Amino acid sequence: MRLLESKKGLSFFAFEHSEEYQQAQHKFLVAVESMEPNNIVVLLQTSPYHVDSLLQLSDACRFQEDQEMARDLVERALYSMECAFHPLFSLTSGACRLDYRRPENRSFYLALYKQMSFLEKRGCPRTALEYCKLILSLEPDEDPLCMLLLIDHLALRARNYEYLIRLFQEWEAHRNLSQLPNFAFSVSLAYFLLSQQTDLPEHERSSAREKASLLIQQALTMFPGVLLPLLESCSVRPDITVSSHSFFGPNAEISQPPALSQLVSLYLGRSHFLWKEPATMSWLEENVHAVLQTVDAGDPAVEACENRRKVLYQRAPRNIHRHVILSEIKEAVAALPPDVTTQSVMGFDPLPPSDTIYSYVRPERERNSVIWESQLCVCRLRSFPSPSNARAESRQPRKHDCRLSSFQPWGEARGRSGWGSEPQPGPEQADAGCARHDGQLPPERPRGTARGRR
């Protein structure tokens, strides 16, 4: 990793590949094209810490329900990249940036995302939330993995309601978070759950309840197509007044734009169970009837919301499509547009940015080379080492297809933050960040030394 530049209190870093690692990367691309996971295992025999190979093989193990091995491979990838950290790179400062347009940086994003997913599935939502914050902090303006579609869910699961409310209050003005269904409903739910806490003073609980009711009514008015699918997911049958009303009826879901339907499917597939509590359902029912009274009274805000839905949700940005692919929520994946589903999506680099910054290119002779000889396919997963334990031994994944079939809420695309070409580091920067990936076993870091120093 090396330091590219520092400006306005921010430091911009980039991972870089040594010549040996570049050769391993070329071999990895050939192995992926062969659609044979054992070829990736062969590569890991000679380059046991090649990050993209570890992440791709982790997916193959996960699809075969070998969760333990999949987690080990992701942890190994994170360890490899941690050993290459620049001495000035800090995960906790919030002032370090990694440009997602650089392919070398994307592996770190994806490794963090996969580790976060494993933590959530293991029942560690608070730790998963911290990983989510970290990914968002690496490039908050562009948000390449669209963590704003997930951070509210993790905050609610971790019962960190105050954080979610504060994030909404501070970012709403410049990020329009209320225009995302997940934030519109999650923040109102956070206020309601906060009002249910008995250790709060009575006036604070009352204020939180009023704020929750106001926000949920605004959310229902803006996104009426969420209600009936939400109740269906929670196995709750609405009364005839609600189900037969034209505002919340089946037409509300059918008439919403496809991009909005995708966001709704993503939110419901991930967070519907948070609404199943009887107290929450009673509060939701109360506010649904209040919204119907407003609609019947001809409130102009209802028509204004309908016009906004037609204008704002014409097409989802690429980072949202990338997030949907990584989430693997069936309903949301099924709603992806044809131009995304018809292209080849690689698990180690889903939907790369169109303005990718390449520091080196794959040789043409590598592109046209013959796929590895067949005897390379007889290797076994136990033949490469593990930094933590020997669980990798005696495991061999079955054959699997290695090819897996800046956040702007629906406005004009924002420009990048001013540095399109790679700046030249100064003499003091060139010496400071000399650690590189070489695809080989990183040395153990001595206890008590600074992270990233060799």
CA 423 to centroid of chain Cα atoms: 28
List of residues 6+ apart from 171 with CB closer than 8 A: 177
Determine the pLDDT at residue 365.
Answer: 56
Domain membership of residue 336 (yes or no) is: yes
Domain membership of residue 284 (yes or no) is: yes
Determine the pLDDT at residue 406.
Answer: 32
Domain membership of residue 292 (yes or no) is: yes
pLDDT over 80 at 387, yes or no: no
pLDDT over 60 at 96, yes or no: yes
The chain-wide mean pLDDT, for the chain, equals: 83
453 or 74: which leads in pLDDT: 74
Does pTM surpass 0.85? no
Domain membership of residue 213 (yes or no) is: yes
- pLDDT-wise least confident of 9-23, 89-103, 416-430: 416-430
- Give Rg (Cα) of the chain: 24
List of residues 6+ apart from 324 with CB closer than 8 A: 262, 266, 332, 333, 335, 336
- Domain of 247, in residue numbers: 159-353
Question: 97 φ, ψ to 5°?
Answer: -125, 145
Determine the pLDDT at residue 143.
Answer: 96
Domain membership of residue 114 (yes or no) is: no
Domain membership of residue 305 (yes or no) is: yes
- pLDDT-wise least confident of 174-178, 298-302, 367-371: 367-371
* % residues pLDDT > 70 (the chain): 80
Domain membership of residue 300 (yes or no) is: yes
The pLDDT tens digits of the residues spanning 241-275 come to 998 999 998 888 888 999 999 999 999 999 999 99
> Total domain count for the chain?
1
The pLDDT tens digits of the residues spanning 406-440 come to 333 333 333 333 333 334 444 344 333 334 444 45
Domain membership of residue 264 (yes or no) is: yes
Determine the pLDDT at residue 366.
Answer: 52
Nearest-CA neighbor of 17 among 44, 37, 47?
A: 47
- pLDDT-wise least confident of 107-111, 410-414, 449-453: 410-414
Nearest-CA neighbor of 380 among 76, 62, 33, 44?
A: 44
